[in-house]
Amino acid sequence: DRVLEIVRRVLPGAGFDEAMTYSVVSEEDSSAFNLWTSAPPLRSSTPMLKGADCLRRSLIPSLLSARRVNESLSNAVIELFETARVYWPENDGLPREELMLGITSGGDFFSLKGVIEALVEAIQPAATLTVRDTSCDLLDATHSAELWIHDQLSGYFGHVSEAGLKRFSLRAPATVAELRFSALA
C-alpha cells in the first residue's frame, strides 16, 4: 500500500493521469507485447468485450489502446499510468497473478527513463537501477531496454516502434514502460 501511495504521488506529480483498463484483450493485442512469458494467454469462456477473450499478460497493449482513444478525441497530452494485475499461465492451468505498473507517454526515451529513475528513488533510495539492451518487436531496437533493480529483472521500457504505432493505429510517437511491483517494493 505504501508503494502504491508513492506511485500515485510521484507519477501525477510528473504529469501522468491514472488509467483503468479492462483485464481482457484480444489475442492479437496480447501477443503484441509478451516479454514476461511465452505461454499462450488464458482464455475466458465468457468474454466481456467482443473479440477480447484473453486475460492480459501485460498492461502495455491496454494502455496503447487507451492512448489511441485519447488521440481520436484530439487530446493533446496523453500521459497515462496504470497499476493492475496481469495473468501469466502456469502448468496447473491457473494464472499467476502479478501486480504491475504500466506507463505510456508522448515524451522521449530519456524523459521516461528520468520518470522511472525518480519513481525508483522515491520508493527505494538505495536501489541500484541498471539498464540493459533488449529486443521486442513492439519497441524500437535502438531505444528500448530492460530495467534491473538489485540484479533482478524488474521491467522494460522504450519507444514504440513504427510497426507498433501502426499496429495500435497511433498517430504520434509514444514511449512505454512496464515494471513489476514486487521489484519496486
Model confidence, pTM = 0.90
Give the pLDDT confidence of 117-156 residue by residue, as tens digits: 999 999 999 888 899 988 888 899 899 999 999 889 999 9
137-142 CB contacts, 8 Å cutoff, 24+ apart: 137/32, 137/161, 137/163, 137/164, 138/32, 138/33, 138/60, 138/163, 138/164, 138/167, 138/176, 139/164, 139/176
pLDDT digits 0-9 by tens, 162-174? 999 999 999 999 9
